Structure 1
Amino acid sequence: MHRLASSVALTAALLLISGCSTGGTPIDGGPAGSTPSPQSSATATPTEDTAEGTTEERAPEQGMVTPADFERATAVRVVRHLAGVIGPREATGRAYARAARWVQGELEGMGYDVARQRFDVPAGESWGVPVPAGRSVNVVATPVGFDPARPHLVVGAHLDTVPQAPGAEDNASGVGVLLAVAEAVAQRRTRLPVVLVAFGAEEPRGPGDDDHHYGSRHYAAELGRRERAAVRAMVSLDRVGVGATVPVGSATSSDPVQRSLLAAARSAGVRAVAVAEQRSSDHWSFVRAGLPAARLGSTSYAAYHSAADVPAVVQPEQLARAGRVVLAWLAPRQPSAG
């Protein structure tokens, strides 16, 4: 997988583009979902050899993850806690550290092995606000028994915000879907083992391409040769709680991960739209490192990077759409009709 801050941590880890839609109902809370213990990665169904998948067909099996396993209430609860209780989460600040500890506890409560991957972040200016240098952290969850040198998938969402924003849509929505996906796959088969990452310091600290995405760049840089080869695809969940369709972004004109996500959306009955040249999220760190990756999310909305980005902005049904796409993408391949 990756060389974490120490060999102990490594062992522990082994383990803006479519128009804004106002459809859906704002978040009004909901009960927490159940938190089963995750399966050992040895029970995952390893049929995925490329970003687009193989043509191998498998009969349906009991215990396979399906889009219907997504619990919207879990994602809603996460959005309300991160944006409504904790609030703005600048990547080197105390609130971010609090949020990272909370996410870690959620994932550990589901039974995952969780490691913290620390990295330095420079001072700068984030959306007009000066921000200090400091340290941030990625929270990395893996199934029990995970082997990072074996083929696997990565699903990530950034946990930090710009200093002035509670960050409900950007990006408690992505973390909410991430944790609901973690819950869904905890005891169900996926086509490959899944690594789940809450990234730190995604938000800008300056105008250049190298002033963003510090956590995901650190994650990709820490991968060894065998670990890099084992990453079959990565998906970044970034602003997935607003709109009526799910944007699926590629860093180039098109790529295999984008196409596989669009196919997953069709199979889940979710309307999705392809977005080209989309580089403003953590998937870009993986693509820059030569790894296959794409993004879900990016519908425009009025509260972007502002104090008005509160839980009421986020639409629970859009969270569910994004979550169903991810689970369809992670599911073992089904036989084609006919």
Structure 2
Amino acid sequence: MSICLTVLGACSGAANSNSPDGAPPGPAGEASTVGPDGSTASPPVPAAPSAAASSVAASSMAASSVAASSVAASSVAASSVAASSMAASSAAASSLPDSTDIGARVDAVDERRLMAHVERLAASPRDNTDSGRAAQAAADYSAQQLRNYGVEVNTIPVQAEGIELPVVWTEIGGQRCPGTATYVLVGHYDTVPGSPGADDNASGTAAVLETARVLAKAGLPISVTLAVLPFEEPGPPFRGALALLSALQTGETGRRVLGAVSAEMVGFSSPELVDGERQDVLYLLGYQGAETLVTTFAAASDRWGAGNVVARTVPADNPFIWRSDHAAFHDAGIPAAMATDGGETRNPNYHKDSDRPDTLSPAFLAEATRTFVGGLAALSARSAPPSAPSTGRSPAATNSPCQGPTG
């Protein structure tokens, strides 16, 4: 994964290393049909780009600086959604359930358990150069941890790059809407070649596992699906996420996915300011339409955690956050966001052999996990799901989150 926080002013003009020629496709206008193996029978057709978006794409393909006019257009577009994001944040805070149980769950997050997961997962690179053996070991470890928590473990085989690796997932709770609706938190366990990937992305995998432990017996009214995924690296089409989405939306009772978050590098922080930006905050970044989703996590952090979450949504022609597993859900018309410490804009060990456990901030990772626990529990406890993003599909919002799958 690679991320450039243009919308937050952290950088500009970065090319997308996950896409051919550095030019990431934008979010789709229509959802594609997802096959059981994660393939798409009919690829999404992006909406016609604006002149500003075309300029950004062209300069990204050249791996050069974004033209000043494009940056200005992007800044104006980002500013235009600031007011709605602030309003959504206020609404999210006021609608949080008044639950001491959620606070207790948040407090149960264990920093030592998180770092034990990271140490185990980041013992070696988890790419396909060893026929996927190290990545398979990470998947097996994750599955065993989930079994230890007393939850049902499911796997989905996914083939790519000449190897097969599993999606490992569990569904927790759902007493109000059994088998019909769910929120999703995912983290990928694979790495780029040569990197042990403590931050990218043993940290995200560890956060998913600890969230599962804490919420396993919480009795959530609407279910939460927690999954660790293969094949996020080197980038699109995010086959692991697509396979999970297909499994959730099909079967005897296809679930309506109400929202999805990708835990993508959530373990590195610094007390320093860089270009005026704090380096000790967790970013929750999504496209327009995911305001309620991202601001609920921020509000949960404010109430039950350290209050160190920056929640933002950006226009659909901004390509820079379309770079992790949440993109598969967004392209299907589902509110989706990426939780991240900022990637290469913050962590100097990004995609290097120096991305090791001793470079992480255990306290920051624990706080990110508390945000996931509080946000997911709050979303589950609420009666209405967040609205669908503006991808050309019919809105998914309804007064009854127990209705069938989207679209």
Q: Normalising by structure 1, what TM-score?
A: 0.72
Q: Does 1:233 align with 2:259?
A: yes
Name the structure 2 match of 1:329: 375
Name the structure 2 match of 1:88: 125
- Cα deviation, 1:80-125, whole Å, max 9, x if unaligned, reads 11113xx11115511111111111001011111111101121x3xx
Q: Residue 141 of structure 1: which of 166, 170, 183 is its match?
A: 170
Q: Equivalents in 2 of 1:150, 1:53: separation in Å?
A: 24
Relative to structure 1, is the Cα distance of residues 110 and 254 closer, same or farther in structure 2, using a 3 angstrom cutoff?
closer
Name the structure 2 match of 1:315: 361
Name the structure 2 match of 1:116: 155
Q: Does 1:257 align with 2:293?
A: yes
1:199 to partner: Cα distance: 0.6
Q: Equivalents in 1 of 2:308, 2:93: separation in Å?
A: 24
Structure 2 residues without counterparts, runs of 5 or longer: 12-90, 270-279, 383-407
Q: Residue 153 of structure 1: which of 180, 183, 205 is its match?
A: 183
Task: Count the aligned residue pairs.
Answer: 271
Amino acid at match of 2:354: A
Q: Equivalents in 2 of 1:282, 1:148: separation in Å?
A: 25
* 1:57-96 equivalences in 2 (<5 Å): 60=99, 66-84=105-123, 87-90=124-127, 93-96=132-135
Q: Does 1:182 align with 2:225?
A: no
Name the structure 1 match of 2:311: 274
Name the structure 1 match of 2:15: none
Given that residues 63 and 187 in structure 1 are in contact (C-alpha distance below 8 angstroms), is that contact kept between their aligned partners in structure 2?
no
Give me the identity figure in percent.
Answer: 25
Given that residues 173 and 223 in structure 2 are in contact (C-alpha distance below 8 angstroms), is that contact kept between their aligned partners in structure 1?
no
Q: Secondary structure at the match of 1:270?
A: coil
Q: Secondary structure at the match of 1:241?
A: coil
Which deviates more from structure 2 when the two are superposed, residues 69-78 or residues 164-173?
69-78
Q: Secondary structure at the match of 1:325?
A: helix
Amino acid at match of 1:305: H
Which deviates more from structure 2 when the two are superposed, residues 61-70 or residues 292-301?
61-70
Q: Does 1:199 align with 2:224?
A: no
Given that residues 211 and 369 in structure 2 are in contact (C-alpha distance below 8 angstroms), is that contact kept between their aligned partners in structure 1?
yes
Given that residues 173 and 224 in structure 2 are in contact (C-alpha distance below 8 angstroms), is that contact kept between their aligned partners in structure 1?
no
1:191 to partner: Cα distance: 5.0
Q: Does 1:247 align with 2:276?
A: no
Which deviates more from structure 2 when the two are superposed, residues 289-298 or residues 166-175?
289-298
Q: Secondary structure at the match of 2:324?
A: coil
User: Whose Rg is larger?
Assistant: 2
Structure 1 residues without counterparts, runs of 5 or longer: 1-15, 21-51, 124-132, 206-210
Given that residues 148 and 227 in structure 1 are in contact (C-alpha distance below 8 angstroms), is that contact kept between their aligned partners in structure 2?
no
Name the structure 2 match of 1:165: 195
Q: Equivalents in 2 of 1:262, 1:115: separation in Å?
A: 30
Name the structure 2 match of 1:215: 240
Q: Equivalents in 2 of 1:61, 1:152: separation in Å?
A: 23
- Cα deviation, 1:55-101, whole Å, max 9, x if unaligned, reads 877553658753212111111110011113xx111155111111111
Given that residues 127 and 192 in structure 2 are in contact (C-alpha distance below 8 angstroms), is that contact kept between their aligned partners in structure 1?
yes
Relative to structure 1, is the Cα distance of residues 191 and 264 closer, same or farther in structure 2, using a 3 angstrom cutoff?
farther
Amino acid at match of 2:133: R
Q: Does 1:284 align with 2:320?
A: no
Identify the structure with bigger relative contact order (alpha carbons < 8 Å, sequence gap 6+): 1
- Cα deviation, 1:292-331, whole Å, max 9, x if unaligned, reads 2111114221111111111112110110120111111123
Q: Secondary structure at the match of 2:169?
A: strand
Relative to structure 1, is the Cα distance of residues 288 and 65 closer, same or farther in structure 2, using a 3 angstrom cutoff?
farther
Q: Normalising by structure 2, what TM-score?
A: 0.60
Q: Equivalents in 2 of 1:137, 1:242: separation in Å?
A: 27
Q: Secondary structure at the match of 1:250?
A: strand
Given that residues 65 and 188 in structure 1 are in contact (C-alpha distance below 8 angstroms), is that contact kept between their aligned partners in structure 2?
no
